[in-house]
Amino acid sequence: MPMVTLRYKDLEKLIGTDKNTIIDKVPMIGADVERIDVDHADVEFFPDRPDLFSIEGVARAMRGFLEIETGLPRYDVKSSKVSITIDKSIRPIRPHLACAVVRDLQLDTNSIEPLMSLQEHLHWGIGRDRKKVSIGIHDLSKIKSPFLYKAADPDIEFVPLDFDYPLSMRKILEIHPKGFKFAHILDGMKRYPLIVDAADNVLSFPPIINSALTMVTDTTRDLFIEVTGTDASVAIALNIVVTALAERSGKVESVKIFSDGGVRKTPNLSPTIRSLQVKDVNSLLGLDLNAEEIARNLRKMRFGATIHEEGVDVEVPAYRADILHACDLIEDVAIGYGYDRFKPEFPEIATIGKTHCIEDKFELLRDVMIGLGFSEVMTFTLTNEKVHFDDMRRPRSNVTRVKHPISIDQTIVRSSILPSLMEILSLNKHHGLPQKIFEVGEVLLNGKNAQRLACISMHSTANFAEIKSIAESVLRELGTEFTIEKADDTAFLEGRRARILVYGSNIGVFGEIHPDVILNFGLDQPVVAFELDIS
Amino acid sequence: MARINQNDLTADEKRILLALTKVESTSPEKLASLAEINVETAMRSAFLLEQKGLSKITEKTTETYSLTPEGILYAESGLPEQRIIEFMGSKETCLSDLKEVFSDQEAKIALGWLRKKGWASIEKRKDEVVITPLSITRDPQKEVLNLLHMKNTDLKRFDPEVIKALLNRNLIVATEKSDRVISLTDEGRRLAARGIEIIEEITQLTPDLIRSGKWKEKHLREYDVNAPVLEVFGAKKHPYRRLLDQMRKIFLEMGFEEIRGDIVQTSFWNFDALFQPQDHPAREMQDTFYLDSIGDIPMELAQKVKAMHERGGDIGSTGWGGKWNLELARTEVLRTHTTAITIKHLADNPNPPVKAFCIGRAYRRETIDSTHLPEFTQLEGVVMDEAVSFKNLLGCLAEFYKRMGFEKLRFRPGYFPYTEPSVEPEVYVEGLGWMELGGAGIFRHEVTAPLGIRHPVLAWGLGVGRLAMLHLGLKDLRDLYRPDMDWLWRCPICQW
């Protein structure tokens, strides 16, 4: 989750109250305070609230929550003369674009850094790591409108940020750290996205890197912001950035975007209107609020709210990305009301508790095994072919393999419990004997669940007769008719292994573990084992 | 110390006491043979007598000697000085002549000892060293070598200087041996003097003694109730199981039905049915274990879910926009949460009321460390009924945590993609402060509407591992699944 650094000095200035009040209350709008330092706090916000990924956004929300300033924040958007054309060539690649100009900023290193971190959080939170949305912020004074957004030849060169000599776009993808990191987004494309100005100077190569020419420094006063992407969420990302800058008294101006012979202006900061019914709020929350109380809580959460007969008309700020449905507004009513003010009430619903038959069976088998002197273990189900099959001298079969394992130790889900138990013995060889353990649990056979009981006994005189007694004892408890015959499971010693048949089908195996298997697990004591299918 | 009475002694202790009166002090072996019991019993009794102040056990260290290979050689063939003097007879002999018969080294050793033992005088004449034999005296060094060679270790009659010389000549080596010596104390002697009567004792009841009633005539040995005995550990449930059982019991007591399901799920049930957008980061390869297989999904329902994702269906939601891909929904995963099970249960049981819970493994592509594992146990509960609300959700959580033994509970806003409102319950743990122990919320309409569920669904989940670490005092989550046997044996069942 995005971590936002809240510098107290800045925070107190932006909110207008002391830091203790703020830090104390900030978790109650939905945040985890990770670290409280001398001059700042690091706070994590939830991925559904990208508008809180900046200190300006947090300040805006907290002013409302603390009722210092409530209701819809309104931002003026003047028209600028800046324009940009979306060339036809870019449409199959990365067709969506939203732009804005923000003027009269007083930037310094203290405000540039949070701006960059907001940009990165948005790349993560809305942009799906720049795939869906990427944001370029430029020093407007270095470039000349009108701009052109097009698909360009990969051999076109420009000086990218962090470099002092020109590179072709192709080369940037190979050697620039950002190019290398995000090249996969452009996989298979013959032409790459490029934004140039009236003099054919490159602004940026979205979604990879900006040109060094437009780098934002502490002398930058006016910004040109372009957001490119593969869907309409470019607009919300732009809105979040420009409103955050507006909170720093930047003056937002719109940009004309020409495409397909049409023209539109961005950003659009006008709120969307939703209607909320009083009864819907109260039935979902279990409260008894009137329209006025609902409106007040919505205003605390920075919505515009107008009361009408059955409910409230809500103006949703243009920077809110998370309001899909009325329930999202109702949650905000609850947050505004205060989670700490709810009186929990257990629902009086008459139902009868019921166990699951498989769990019942597990429980009975655990009782039997404990009675027989075996201690329960609960082991990992993720394992690998070497331990599971090779070390057990078993052929690789019924494998459920994961596609992208994290490590060579966990490549498959087990199809038998015995190898897990051998591993436990192997970890405990420094402890006294006998060691007797069992597990009831799940295995996967070609992706299908099956339930198993397995037990294992290790001591200097462990033998076939011992484990046969155990196996028969368990089978007796299960009350099924069974027959025992010689088995061919190579994990066990030939002549000292048997399988269990119930109505002609094989449901289990027991015997003396093969000495090679014992050695494979770093052990040297006789081991006998038993595994039973209880599905 | 209170005065010891003979009734305080076992029969064996009495035997030892009596045996000790016959000797001043003795070794364990001799004591055992005197008392006519085995050595182990004799020593155990001697120690018990010592505890009662009746006997004294001291350690005596003695040195024993044995021949080195060189010592064996000289024992058999004579010391060099002896062989040289015998070779010379009574003649004066030059060293150069000797060196023709004896090695340089032997000659050198011999010369020194001939002079020390006074067997010869040695003079330097011109360029020659001349050896003149004197009288040969008795040689204790050789006698010691001979005795040791015959395995006779009793060297008391020899001058310690002789032994020292042989040690220096590296012909013998010393080994330290410590022996216990047992003797009576004055108190022991006094008690023995008062007379000791040995009564036959029984240490173990036998069927024969019981049947015949003879046990009544015998003296049953009393146990020292504080004496240590062999440690045994009963087989038992895994401590983690007991915690899970406790939670299971709480849910059952609250009238919930237990449900289970498959580990392998289609993305449809794991994600799509929960309104998780198809490009959501949690669905990526980095976070989820995908399999190579694809599974079947209910097509009619899939169409409704598709409409919900793309346009928000007809419930006034915006949906996620974009195109919903059926093939992506069919890819199979190891379930990343047990919510895949609860949502399927709700789809199969859309009529109220439903109260269900599920305890099961979930899988996430997390790198293993002390607090993260790629597989872990999750516990989940859902309540669906007409007119249940957020307040009731908090009520369920409060009841559950109270029954788990957490008295102080608070609620904070949370975020989960498929619930709205969402809440993070936190419990107060003495010494640790507020701990987040799970997540909860009311299923979004986008989740419930396509399944034909018309009433609110309260849902909460708990990562049980963290709670287990807290309860069991574990520092590493892996220890639950790869347990140390000694910990399993010793972990008491009364933890909570």
pLDDT tens-place string over residues B306-364: 999 999 999 999 999 889 999 999 999 999 999 999 999 999 999 999 999 999 999 99
Residue A68 above 90 pLDDT?
yes
Closest by CA position to A142, among listed A216, A58, A31: A216
Per residue in A3-14, pLDDT (tens digit) is: 999 999 999 999
Per-residue pLDDT band at B463 (split at 50, 70, 90): confident
Omega within 30 of 0 (cis) for the link into A27: no
Strands ordered across the beta sheet of B120-125? B93-94, B128-133, B120-125
Q: Give the pLDDT confidence of B15-29 residue by residue, as tens digits.
A: 888 888 888 788 888
Tell me what the pLDDT averaged over chain A comes to.
Answer: 95
- Compute CA distances A257 → A145, A270, B27, B456, whole Å: 12, 18, 109, 44
- For residue A307, name the pLDDT band (cuts at 50, 70, 90): very high
| B122 touching chain A per CB within 8 A | no
ipTM given for this complex: 0.93
- The lowest-confidence range among A266-275, B80-89, B455-464 is B80-89
Per the model's pLDDT, the better-predicted residue between A431 and A261 turns out to be A431
A441 within 8 A of B260, measured Cβ to Cβ:
no
Average pLDDT over residues B290-315: 95
> What mean pLDDT is predicted for residues B58-82?
86
Cα first-last separation, chain A: 41
B456 touches chain A (CB under 8 A): yes
Which chain A residue has the Cα nearest residue B280?
A128
Q: Name the H helices within A463-510.
A: 464-478
Say how far apart CA B73 and CA B169 lie, in whole Å. 13
- A330 contacts in chain B (CB < 8 Å): 420-421
Rounded distance, CA B481 to CA B485, Å? 11
Contact (CB<8Å) A403/B262: no
Q: What residue of A is the nearest CA neighbor of B331?
A: A403
Q: Please, is B187 exposed, middle or buried when counting C-beta atoms within 10 Å of its C-beta (0-12, 13-18, 19+)? A: middle
Q: Over pLDDT 70: what percentage of chain A? A: 100
A509: three-class secondary structure by DSSP: strand
Alpha carbon of A231: minimum distance to chain B alpha carbons (Å): 8
Which pLDDT belongs to residue B135?
81
| Residue B381, CA distances (Å) to A352, A431, B402 in order | 15, 40, 16
The number of angstroms, rounded, from the C-alpha of A53 to the middle of its chain's C-alpha atoms is: 16
Residue B2: band (very low, low, confident or very high) from pLDDT cuts 50, 70, 90: low
Cα angle A189, A193, A196 (rounded to 5 degrees) comes to: 150
In which band, very low, low, confident or very high, does the pLDDT at B197 lie, cut at 50, 70 and 90?
Answer: confident
Best A48, A126, A333, A342 member to test B by mutation, with max B CBs in 10 Å, is A342
Mean pLDDT within A17-40: 93
The answer to whether the CB of A227 falls within 8 A of the CB of A234 is yes
Cα–Cα distance for residue pair B480/B466, rounded to 1 Å: 11
Say yes or no to pLDDT of A201 above 70: yes
The two beta strands, A133-139 and A223-229, are antiparallel
Instruction: Report pLDDT for B495.
Output: 57
Q: Does A38 touch chain B (CB under 8 A)?
A: no
Which residue among A324, A331, A424 places its CB closest to the CB of B421?
A: A331
CA distance B352 to chain A (A): 10
How far apart CA A122 and CA A53 sit, in angstroms, is 8
Q: Choose the mutation target among B393, B415, B480 for the interface with A, i.e. most A CBs under 10 Å.
A: B415
First to last CA, chain B: 45
Q: What is the DSSP letter of A140?
A: G
Task: Specify the pLDDT at position B261.
Answer: 96
pLDDT tens digit sequence for B123-132: 888 778 888 8
pLDDT higher at B386 or B108 = B386
Q: Which residue of B has its CA nearest to A352?
A: B255
Is pTM, for the whole model, over 0.95? no
Beta bridge partners of B127: none
Q: Considering only CA atoms, which of A86, A111, A88 is closest in space to residue A234?
A: A86
Is residue A411 pLDDT above 80, yes or no? yes
Q: How high is the pLDDT of residue B179?
A: 82
Mean pLDDT of A389-404: 95
The pLDDT tens digits of the residues spanning A124-169 come to 989 989 999 999 999 999 999 999 999 999 999 999 999 999 999 9
A190 touches chain B (CB under 8 A): no
> CB-based contact (8 Å) between A359 and chain B?
yes
Q: Which of A44-48, B264-268, B425-429, B433-437 has the lowest mean pLDDT?
A: B433-437
What is the reported pLDDT for B175? 84
Asked if the C-beta of A324 comes within 8 angstroms of chain B's C-beta atoms, the answer is yes
